[in-house]
A and B are shown apart, each in its own frame.
Chain A
């Protein structure tokens, strides 16, 4: 079982995993990727806020700027004499720059410059944006693309224009969509144009993608479903280790002596490589959910999709699909407009293969009407696709759109994804406004459910119910995260008010340290703490891999290294009297670099 605190929270999961994936791509692939403005935009959105800011400052700079200028933006906390030596801003900055470098966005140039007064030469580090990225991102922002070669994506956008010109009837609809708050107008217009738009409205797409996606989730929790997901989906579920065949489970149980939840994501490639015949569709229907499958269920819909897409990426690499094509297509989806049709003609072959799979996940809608003879030529991205590169906040708008349908019992199935319906009280009682069997099934993973009403269920979080979940491989953080993302808007609002009040108070008495420490708490802290305590009960130790530094020759060396380590926040434990400290694995290389630099300086 993994240590609880080293595990990223589930909403973080998709971000960190897509980031990790992008980070590990070779530079040549990056260069190819950055040729597409859509991809640049998506990559940009995945960055930390400070990294975004740095990119913006560098975007319109023609020349490289000294690296130190980037530091200058960061406010340095005054040394108030406290032991609180770590500067969170600094750590955050370090992280941001690390990400920029990993993605090959930031290039360092070392120049030897003569000091104008002293005449000494010194090496100054200059930074510059990746020129390809800069060009594409500028293009994305300014809409200027002259003098560039056409790539497939560009063609798509062009043909979008053409198809728009043809469908002039939809123009009115588009222009009124300038703003989301004019939804009522939009609806009127939708109704107005419904005849030439057939049935493909935003509402239709929403309910389509949700039913498609929920079908997959229902299959995972094992509830009764009318139609099984396609073989492609089932294979992916198995490939990603979210589900397994009974035979897989047996094999796993035989080969290992249990207690290796870490290896749940182990994937057997035999089927991909064609060494064994893939299991038949019938066989796949008997898939069982794994521990990681349970964890998967607790994530937000957005991270669920990303988890699957990442697995898809990995699988596609094995199938010799061009990762640039695949990634470009995924990122392009994020920049498409909901409710618009796009012609498939301009997709590359790889992307056409993907199209089929994405339809299965409910990311795209592709009407196969018999009238036009075989397959249609237009595909429609659903909300799942268009919000791929967005935050969960966009799903709130999705639920807002769905709220209208709550009044309408005919579309009852659609309201199931309304996020923000769980209320949890300090006495551990849980109320959840839902009628979705799926959400109830998920809640049942860690809540002792008591009563069920027409539109809500009540339950109580108990030690036993949490323990059951923990033994299933769900972590406390995942439970807490699920409760947070699904918290009722009322709870969120209350938490915001409380946070603002506390912050104001701490600032008014000038206690900046306490103000920094303030947390934004949606759930009652007692409940959060208790859930964590229950987890600790099961898991009494907390282990982190890394390096222990000891046997320092003198205080100077020790202090120097420790100070640096503290500053970048990689030191987990220290013992001044014995001159020892412990560094995380990630921090180790940085620390060694620093040590070398010091040694070199000393040598000079």
Chain B
């Protein structure tokens, strides 16, 4: 018989998925199952944490036009 697992479906870009998997490798117990390139099953309670971590990771390598202006 089929099984049903409670969780939260996360839909994102492949790149973001890679980042989440990365986070999971660091902190454990976040990703329950990797579904495909753009979908993951994660622990619902960890969603805010993932988002925060992602924002930190992304802002590290985000291009900020304001910096440019100040330089020139």
Instruction: Indicate if A touches B (C-beta under 8 A).
Output: yes
Complex alpha-carbon distance, A575 and B9, angstroms: 13
With known contacts A539-B51, A541-B20, A541-B50, A546–B2 Cβ distance under 8 A: no
Instruction: Find residues 227-241 in chain A having any chain B CB closer than 8 Å to their own CB.
Output: none
What's the minimum C-beta distance from B20 to chain A, rounded to whole angstroms? 7
Complex alpha-carbon distance, A583 and B7, angstroms: 10
Residue interface bits A544-561, CB-to-B below 8 A is 1, else 0: 111111111100011001
Q: Does B39 lie within 8 Å of A543, measured CB to CB? A: no
Contact of B4 among A538, A558, A572, A588 (CB under 8 A): A588
Contact of A553 among B1, B9, B16, B32 (CB under 8 A): B1
Contacting residues, chain B, for A545 (C-beta < 8 A): 7-9, 44
Complex alpha-carbon distance, A545 and B10, angstroms: 9
Instruction: Find residues 22-63 in chain B having any chain A CB closer than 8 Å to their own CB.
Output: 32-33, 35-36, 39, 41-42, 44, 47-48, 50-52, 54-55, 58
Contact of A549 among B2, B11, B55 (CB under 8 A): B2
What's the minimum C-beta distance from A592 to chain B, rounded to whole angstroms? 8
Contacting residues, chain A, for B20 (C-beta < 8 A): 541
What's the minimum C-beta distance from B64 to chain A, rounded to whole angstroms? 11
Verify if A259 is at the interface (C-beta below 8 Å from B): yes
Q: Does B4 lie within 8 Å of A549, measured CB to CB? A: yes
Contacting residues, chain B, for A558 (C-beta < 8 A): 2
Contacting residues, chain B, for A549 (C-beta < 8 A): 2-4
Complex alpha-carbon distance, A541 and B9, angstroms: 10
Greatest chain A CB density within 10 A among B1, B8, B52 is at B8
Contacting residues, chain A, for B8 (C-beta < 8 A): 543-546
With known contacts A543-B8, A547-B7, A260–B48 Cβ distance under 8 A: yes
Q: Is the interface of B mostly helix, strand, loop or mixed?
A: mixed
Q: Does A546 lie within 8 Å of B7, measured CB to CB? A: yes
A-B pairs with CB below 8 Å: how many? 84
Complex alpha-carbon distance, A553 and B51, angstroms: 36
Q: Does B52 lie within 8 Å of A259, measured CB to CB? A: yes
Verify if A542 is at the interface (C-beta below 8 Å from B): yes
Contacting residues, chain B, for A588 (C-beta < 8 A): 4
**Size class of the contact patch on chain B:** 20 to 34
Greatest chain B CB density within 10 A among A539, A547, A552 is at A547
Contacting residues, chain B, for A582 (C-beta < 8 A): 9, 35, 39, 41
Q: Does A541 lie within 8 Å of B33, measured CB to CB? A: no
Q: What is the interface size of chain A, counting residues whose CB is below 8 A from a CB of the partner?
A: 29
Q: Does B33 lie within 8 Å of A548, measured CB to CB? A: yes
Complex alpha-carbon distance, A101 and B39, angstroms: 35
Q: Does A259 lie within 8 Å of B48, measured CB to CB? A: yes
What's the minimum C-beta distance from A570 to chain B, rounded to whole angstroms? 12
Verify if A1 is at the interface (C-beta below 8 Å from B): yes
Instruction: Find residues 371-388 in chain A having any chain B CB closer than 8 Å to their own CB.
Output: none
With known contacts A549-B3, A551-B3, A540–B12 Cβ distance under 8 A: yes
What's the minimum C-beta distance from B32 to chain A, rounded to whole angstroms? 8
Verify if B5 is at the interface (C-beta below 8 Å from A): yes
Verify if A580 is at the interface (C-beta below 8 Å from B): yes
Verify if A573 is at the interface (C-beta below 8 Å from B): yes
Q: Does B2 lie within 8 Å of A553, measured CB to CB? A: yes
Q: Does A538 lie within 8 Å of B2, measured CB to CB? A: no
With known contacts A540-B16, A541-B51, A542-B12, A548–B7 Cβ distance under 8 A: yes
What's the minimum C-beta distance from B13 to chain A, rounded to whole angstroms? 7
Contacting residues, chain A, for B7 (C-beta < 8 A): 545-548
What's the minimum C-beta distance from A230 to chain B, rounded to whole angstroms? 37
Complex alpha-carbon distance, A588 and B47, angstroms: 21
Q: Does B35 lie within 8 Å of A573, measured CB to CB? A: yes
Q: Does A550 lie within 8 Å of B54, measured CB to CB? A: no
Contacting residues, chain B, for A561 (C-beta < 8 A): 2
Contacting residues, chain A, for B16 (C-beta < 8 A): 540-541
Q: Does A1 lie within 8 Å of B51, measured CB to CB? A: yes
Contacting residues, chain B, for A540 (C-beta < 8 A): 12-13, 16, 54, 58
Contacting residues, chain A, for B42 (C-beta < 8 A): 543
Greatest chain B CB density within 10 A among A550, A552, A553, A572 is at A550
Q: Does A542 lie within 8 Å of B3, measured CB to CB? A: no
Contacting residues, chain B, for A550 (C-beta < 8 A): 2-3, 5
What's the minimum C-beta distance from B22 to chain A, rounded to whole angstroms? 13
Contacting residues, chain B, for A580 (C-beta < 8 A): 35
Complex alpha-carbon distance, A542 and B51, angstroms: 10
Complex alpha-carbon distance, A553 and B1, angstroms: 6
Contacting residues, chain A, for B3 (C-beta < 8 A): 549-551
Complex alpha-carbon distance, A549 and B36, angstroms: 15
Contacting residues, chain A, for B54 (C-beta < 8 A): 540-541
What's the minimum C-beta distance from A562 to chain B, rounded to whole angstroms? 11
13 contacts between A and B (CB under 8 A): A540-B58, A541-B20, A541-B50, A543-B9, A543-B42, A544-B8, A548-B5, A549-B4, A550-B3, A551-B2, A558-B2, A572-B9, A573-B11
For the A-B complex with A259-B51, A542-B11, A542-B12 known, give 6 more contacts whose Cβ atoms are closer than 8 Å: A259-B48, A539-B51, A541-B11, A544-B8, A544-B9, A548-B35
Please list the residues of chain B having a beta carbon within 8 angstroms of any beta carbon in chain A.
1-13, 16, 20, 32-33, 35-36, 39, 41-42, 44, 47-48, 50-52, 54-55, 58
Sort A-B residue pairs by CB-CB distance and give the 3 closest, nearest first: A541-B12, A547-B4, A552-B2
